[in-house]
Amino acid sequence: MVQSAVLGFPRMGVLRDLKKANEAYWAEKISQADLLAEGKRLRLAHWKIQKEAGVDIIPSNDFSFYDHILDHIQLFNAVPERYRRQKLSPLDEYFAMGRGHQKGDVDVPALEMVKWFDSNYHYVKPTLQDNQTFALAEDPKPVREFLEAKEAGFHTRPVLVGPVSFLALGKADRGSKVDPISLIDKLVPVYIELLKQLKAAGADHVQIDEPVLVFDLRPEVKAAFKPAYEAISAQASEIPAITIATYFGDIVHNFDVLPAFANLHGLHVDLVRHPEQLEPVLKQLGPNQVLSAGVVDGRNIWKNNFQKSLDLLHTAIKALGPERVVVATSSSLLHVPHTLASEKKLPADVYEWFSFAVEKVKEVAILAKAVVDPESVRAELDANAAAMKSRAESARTNDPAVAERQAQVTDAMHHRQSDFETRYAKQRTHLSLPLFPTTTIGSFPQTNEIRIQRAKFTKGEITAEQYDEFIKKEIDLAIQIQDELGLDVYVHGEPERNDMVQYFGERLKGFVFTTHAWVQSYGSRCVRPPIIVGDISRPAPMTVKESKYAAERSKKPMKGMLTGPVTCLRWSFPRDDVHQSVQCQQLALALRDEVLDLEKNGIYVIQVDEPALREGLPLRKGPERDAYLKWAVNSFKLATAGVQDSTQIHSHFCYSEFQDFFYAIAALDADVLSIENSKSDAKLLKVFEDEAYPRHIGPGVYDIHSPRIPPESEIRQRIQEMLQYLRPEQLWINPDCGLKTRKWDEVKGALTNMVKAAQYFREQYANKA
């Protein structure tokens, strides 16, 4: 018999129940006991789903109120003193680390949060001290939740983040210099203690995640595996069997680490991302080791292709025998929505193509049966084959006109007509911009009124005409305010956009939208990505109406606003049947048409936002990364390069640090960049110490994430700092990002000071000239 396993289940519940409970607790609307009870209810419900689906190996300790790495920070007592000192309850201390705590005299900021590998999930970074010690928390969560499951009749496999990954994903605290991995000898005894307690509680098997094995590892990190896992294996009789789990990449380049696991029960690898690692991994396994074959995608929403998975599983079984193969999800299901059953509005034909967490759990169980006895699940196999066929043959999937257009893309289409100097000379006369031009990034406050009107329109309570009139009034207001502020390049304010990707997805062919398919991004925050189901094309202009209206009413150049091809792709669930580069090029062609339509309609400054460009970068250096950069950069260029020299192309970047990525941004050949900068201690600017940037750039002069109004002096200081690295003619003055989350009075206050600061420098340099 072949067993089935799930590596982790989403925590939010059917209707984002956990988000609601957390937020109610934070707002002091429910008690701690209420929140804990809700957590328990969700865990039990999720175990039940998995058991009823027939999954053999069901995870526990995958649940988390905020983040699983944060759970481990508390579990190992790696809580920085500034939180300990507050003497909060364990739960409040936990949330204080996750999201900061401001109440009474307590005021501690959150620990740093960063992206979990190349996903859109964010984890809380272990933040360690020079004199760091570790100790197992009292009543450790993994033991508690294992027992909770056991009592309810579920035998589970606890999930732990491994000691090497825990440290390698951490950092030294401010004021400390410790290399986290050097703490491994201190941390391993705590794992051993925890594993012993789990065994005593009745756990016979644990899953220890060591996902850093998919990275290029520093020698220090690599070297930590052997002593750590030898010390753990030495306790074999007193601890549960261990399966090491890796995901989001292949581990072939780190095979020299595998001997460290030689005495462990099993190894899990991601065969969705990297099926080709199966053969080499099979050769590396010890004589009794079990392969956990991650064939059901934990990162995307497509129905599993059973035939493909069965081929991989048969290869594994042929080498190892059925007893040594486990059918598993490729990673935790954390990254997919809860259940497809909640989707009542998906077109019937595409509904059949998807699997969310609840459905994927069933897939794992079915595959485990199918691989030994296909007849026992014949109906499921047939239904799966039919769904694959329907998708492959659907008119939605393949649009010959799109393919034909892609075949005609030429190299020349990726290049502007002239070099930057020539373009800029024409743009300067065309746009008559002052020195230190001021602008904003696109969105203005999304007020309650805007949300109300949009909801009314969506529900059909007001007509399209009424809604359009409302949007026009919002645009009028945005223009009037920009007139008053004295900005140089205007924006229309994006009042008509619900979301910078969804808005475009809804106007393109090739996308579908869900109503409940939320995925946790961080803490209680969830996102609902659109789904790319087929070849993408643009049936009609998407933004021309609003931009044209705005341009006709403004005294100054009006900037058209588009979301770039890479960002549209990255913030959606992409197709898994064609390469992402193909989908990105389709998006680029659609946007190219939009750019040209804007230009035709009198919009001569066009900004194409690519905040997600950095996060798409493959995790490892090498050919995969080079290939990504090539197609990502080319997509942007294809989208933008069709304009006249005199039309100015802007692009915008935020959400990441760009100092090690600037070369890629520079390769976009945009005339003007705006880049989030104000939080990163001018790290970005240091890039220009080594290499002069040839075009124009607006490093953000203030942080838009806070309601605080930056004083003029502070903005002047920022600009002064930039002038150490950039020539005055190069510099644009703008905020870090769009202003949709701010209130109007904050926006007006901040921009008034920003404009004054720009004027100050303009006068300084006018006098010099």
Binding residue ranges: 19, 120, 441-443, 494, 525-526, 571, 609, 652, 654, 676, 737
Q: Which is nearer to ligand MET, 265 or 497 (CB)?
A: 497
Maximum Cα interatomic distance, the chain, rounded to a whole number of Å:
86
Q: Which is nearer to ligand MET, 91 or 527 (CB)?
A: 527
**Partner from Zn ion, ligand MET, none contacting 443, C-beta within 5 to 8 A by type:** ligand MET
User: Do the strands 509-512 and 531-537 form a parallel or antiparallel pair, or are they unpaired?
Assistant: antiparallel
The answer to whether the beta carbons of residues 70 and 121 sit under 8 Å apart is no
Report which of 413, 419, 423, 415 is spatially closest to residue 604, judged by C-alpha positions: 423
CA geometry: angle 505, 459, 456, nearest 5 deg: 95
Binding site for ligand MET (CB under 6 A): 441-443, 500, 561, 609, 611, 652, 654, 737-738, 740
> Minimum Å distance from CB 481 to ligand MET?
15
> Minimum Å distance from CB 110 to ligand MET?
20
> Minimum Å distance from CB 555 to ligand MET?
21
**Partner from ligand MET, Zn ion, none contacting 722, C-beta within 5 to 8 A by type:** none
Nearest residue to the partner ligand MET, using Cβ: 738
**Partner from ligand MET, Zn ion, none contacting 70, C-beta within 5 to 8 A by type:** none
Stretch that binds Zn ion, among 51-59, 116-124, 533-541, 732-740 (CB under 5 A): 732-740
Number of residues near Zn ion (by CB under 5 A): 3
Q: Which is nearer to ligand MET, 350 or 654 (CB)?
A: 654
**Partner from Zn ion, ligand MET, none contacting 159, C-beta within 5 to 8 A by type:** none
Task: Report the C-alpha gap between 549 and 620 in whole angstroms.
Answer: 46
Stretch that binds Zn ion, among 431-439, 477-485, 498-506, 654-662 (CB under 5 A): 654-662
What DSSP string describes 667-714?
TT--SEEEE--TTTTTHHHHHHHHS---SEEEE-SS-TTSS----HHH
The number of beta carbons lying within 10 Å of the beta carbon of residue 721 is 15
Task: Report the C-alpha gap between 406 and 398 in whole angstroms.
Answer: 13
> Minimum Å distance from CB 228 to ligand MET?
40
What sign does the CA torsion over 75, 326, 359, 366 have? negative
Q: Is 654 in the site for Zn ion (CB under 5 A)?
A: yes
Q: Which is nearer to ligand MET, 483 or 615 (CB)?
A: 615
Q: Which residues contact residue 701 at a Cβ distance below 8 angstroms, ignoring those fewer than 6 apart?
A: 677, 678, 710, 715, 718, 719, 733, 734, 735, 736, 754, 757
Contact positions with Zn ion (CB under 5 A) in 122-161:
none
Q: Where are the alpha helices (DSSP H) in 152-183?
A: 163-168
> Minimum Å distance from CB 650 to Zn ion?
12
Residue length, the chain? 769
- Annotated binding-site residue numbers for 5-methyltetrahydropteroyltri-L-glutamate: 19, 120, 525-526, 571
- Annotated binding-site residue numbers for Zn(2+): 652, 654, 676, 737
Q: Is 675 in the site for Zn ion (CB under 5 A)?
A: no
Q: Is 684 in the site for Zn ion (CB under 5 A)?
A: no
**Partner from ligand MET, Zn ion, none contacting 475, C-beta within 5 to 8 A by type:** none
Task: Report the C-alpha gap between 116 and 523 in whole angstroms.
Answer: 13
Q: Is 501 in the site for Zn ion (CB under 5 A)?
A: no
The number of beta carbons lying within 10 Å of the beta carbon of residue 477 is 15
Q: Is 737 in the site for Zn ion (CB under 5 A)?
A: yes
Q: Which is nearer to ligand MET, 22 or 443 (CB)?
A: 443
Q: Which is nearer to ligand MET, 594 or 609 (CB)?
A: 609
> Minimum Å distance from CB 341 to ligand MET?
32
Task: Report the C-alpha gap between 714 and 720 in whole angstroms.
Answer: 10
> Minimum Å distance from CB 344 to ligand MET?
30
**Partner from Zn ion, ligand MET, none contacting 62, C-beta within 5 to 8 A by type:** none
Active-site residue identified among 155, 253, 430, 705: 705
Give percent helix, percent strand, percent coil of the chain, each to the nearest 5.
Answer: 50, 15, 40
Q: How far is CA 249 from CA 33, 119, 496, in A?
A: 40, 12, 39
Q: Is 566 in the site for Zn ion (CB under 5 A)?
A: no
What residues form DSSP beta bridges with 733?
A: 438
The answer to whether the beta carbons of residues 247 and 213 sit under 8 Å apart is no
The answer to whether the beta carbons of residues 719 and 731 sit under 8 Å apart is yes
Stretch that binds Zn ion, among 129-137, 424-432, 483-491, 730-738 (CB under 5 A): 730-738
What sign does the CA torsion over 343, 348, 350, 353 have? positive
**Partner from ligand MET, Zn ion, none contacting 740, C-beta within 5 to 8 A by type:** ligand MET
What sign does the CA torsion over 152, 154, 155, 160 have? negative
> Minimum Å distance from CB 718 to ligand MET?
19
Q: Is 370 in the site for Zn ion (CB under 5 A)?
A: no
Task: Report the C-alpha gap between 300 and 535 in whole angstroms.
Answer: 18
**Partner from Zn ion, ligand MET, none contacting 561, C-beta within 5 to 8 A by type:** ligand MET
Q: Which helix (H) or strand (E) holds 519?
A: strand 519-522
- Annotated binding-site residue numbers for L-homocysteine: 441-443, 609
> Minimum Å distance from CB 580 to ligand MET?
20
What is the pattern of x (binds Zn ion, CB under 5 A) and - over residues 17-56? ----------------------------------------
Report which of 633, 715, 707 is spatially closest to residue 666, judged by C-alpha positions: 633
Q: Is 388 in the site for Zn ion (CB under 5 A)?
A: no
Residue 155 designated active-site: no
Stretch that binds Zn ion, among 70-78, 219-227, 715-723, 729-737 (CB under 5 A): 729-737
CA geometry: angle 353, 331, 301, nearest 5 deg: 15
Q: Is 113 in the site for Zn ion (CB under 5 A)?
A: no
3-state secondary structure of 327: strand
Q: Which is nearer to ligand MET, 442 or 565 (CB)?
A: 442
Q: Which residue type does 634 have?
A: N
Contact positions with Zn ion (CB under 5 A) in 605-634:
611
- Annotated binding-site residue numbers for L-methionine: 441-443, 494, 609
Q: Which is nearer to ligand MET, 657 or 691 (CB)?
A: 657
Task: Report the C-alpha gap between 759 and 753 in whole angstroms.
Answer: 10
> Minimum Å distance from CB 467 to Zn ion?
26
Q: Which residue type does 266 have?
A: G
Q: Which is nearer to Zn ion, 531 or 608 (CB)?
A: 608
What residues form DSSP beta bridges with 693?
A: none
Q: Which is nearer to ligand MET, 561 or 613 (CB)?
A: 561
Q: Residue holding tokens 């939180």?
A: 83
**Where does this chain bind Zn ion (CB under 5 A)?**
611, 654, 737
Active-site positions?
705
